[in-house]
């Protein structure tokens, strides 16, 4: 690689300092962070920064990797003290790659791609919503809930996990359907096949909001179908293979110190 693009959490002094050091190390490898044709995107921050960079990488059709200077670094494989190894790997193309599925959401007026999750949630905080869920045009259940999460395996340790969903190995190709604080008999998350098409619609007169990777996409009216499926693209992560799934889980949740 001779060009990369940096995405830095510029309100974090540690991230800015790490970016400056990495820029110098990359220059020693003959790699520029300037230019219009980057071969990869490097995120420096926490998982939110990696999500931003990953969305950019999917649009450009190039891989992404992350340096973690935040508290949560499940998506960011490299620690601050590994940036010399990162720079050398970029300069010598000494990487392996991992491809992960993404999610696609569409309504009558909007569409988007998500790396982690798509959330359909209530707009009025004091009132729950009732949502009907179908899978491949077959009725699954109607939930009275604060919202529904459809997560990718990469997103299984984000909002879905806090709502009671499972931790899923990111190498798998599935969809995870998780209700948020449900007032229903069916309270558990459901893991669906990769070709599943999930359709969510709000029953009654209350609107819902769609959030994509934590960012608001739009508000939908009652009865309007929201279609969620695996996206056509994939997100490609650069890796040195140092943090296999069990180790990544242990590190994220501090189990090595338990």
Q: Give 105's pLDDT tier (boundaries 50, 70, 90).
A: very high
- One DSSP character per residue, 42-91 reads EEEESHHHHHHHHHHHHHHT--EEEEE-SS--SS--EEGGGHHHHHHHHH
Query: Helix (H, G, I), strand (E, B), or coil: what is residue 119?
Result: strand
Looking at the predicted structure, is the pLDDT value of residue 240 above 90?
no
Taken in order 100, 56, 228, 118, the sign of the CA dihedral is: positive
Domain 103-232 sits in CATH 3.40.50.970: no
Query: Of 183, 192, 185, 188, which Cα lies nearest the Cα of 164?
Result: 188
What pLDDT does residue 254 have? Answer: 67
Q: What is the pLDDT of residue 110?
A: 96
Summarize pLDDT for 134-160 with one digit per residue, the tens.
Answer: 999 999 999 999 999 999 999 998 999
Architecture in CATH of 5-95+240-257: 3-Layer(aba) Sandwich (3.40)
Euclidean distance between CA atoms 175 and 150, whole angstroms: 7
Spell out the domain ranges in the chain: 5-95+240-257, 103-232
Per-residue model confidence as pLDDT tens digits over 36-50: 889 999 999 988 899
pLDDT bucket at 251, cuts 50 / 70 / 90 = low
Q: To the nearest whole number, what is the mean pLDDT of the chain?
A: 91
Tokens at 70, concatenated: 């935040």
pLDDT at 57 (0 to 100):
94
User: In the predicted model, what is the mean pLDDT of residues 209-221?
Assistant: 95
What is the per-residue pLDDT for 205? 87
pLDDT at 159: 95
Percent of the chain with pLDDT over 70: 93
pLDDT of 1: 83
Residues labelled catalytic: 47
pLDDT in tens, 180-190: 999 987 889 99
Domains 5-95+240-257 and 103-232 share a fold: no
pLDDT at 73 over 70: no
Q: Does 139 or 96 have the greater pLDDT score?
A: 139
What is the structure's pLDDT at 36? 83
Mean pLDDT calculated for residue range 240-244? 72
């Amino acid at each position: 690689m001779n060009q990369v693009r940096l995405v830095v959490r510029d309100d974090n002094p540690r991230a800015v300092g790490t970016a400056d050091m990495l820029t110098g190390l990359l220059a020693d490898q003959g790699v520029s962070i300037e230019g219009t044709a980057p071969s990869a995107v490097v995120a420096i921050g926490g998982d939110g920064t990696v999500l931003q960079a990953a969305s950019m990488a999917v649009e450009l059709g190039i891989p992404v990797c992350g340096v973690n200077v935040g508290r949560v670094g499940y998506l960011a494989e490299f620690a601050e003290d590994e940036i010399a190894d990162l720079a050398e790997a970029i300069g010598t193309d000494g990487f392996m790659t991992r491809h992960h599925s993404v999610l696609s959401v569409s309504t009558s007026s909007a569409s988007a791609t998500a790396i982690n999750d798509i959330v359909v949630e209530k707009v009025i905080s004091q009132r729950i919503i009732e949502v009907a869920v179908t899978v491949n045009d077959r009725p699954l259940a109607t939930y009275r809930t604060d919202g529904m999460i459809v997560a990718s395996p990469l997103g299984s340790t984000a909002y879905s996990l806090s709502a009671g969903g499972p931790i899923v190995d990111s190498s798998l190709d599935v969809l995870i359907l998780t209700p948020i604080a449900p007032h229903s008999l069916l309270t558990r998350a459901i893991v669906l096949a990769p070709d599943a098409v999930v359709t969510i619609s709000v029953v009654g007169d209350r609107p819902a909001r769609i959030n994509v990777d934590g960012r608001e996409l739009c508000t939908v009216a009652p009865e309007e179908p929201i279609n969620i499926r695996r996206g056509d693209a994939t997100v490609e992560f650069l890796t040195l293979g140092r943090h296999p799934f069990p180790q990544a889980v242990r590190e994220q949740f501090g189990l090595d110190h338990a």
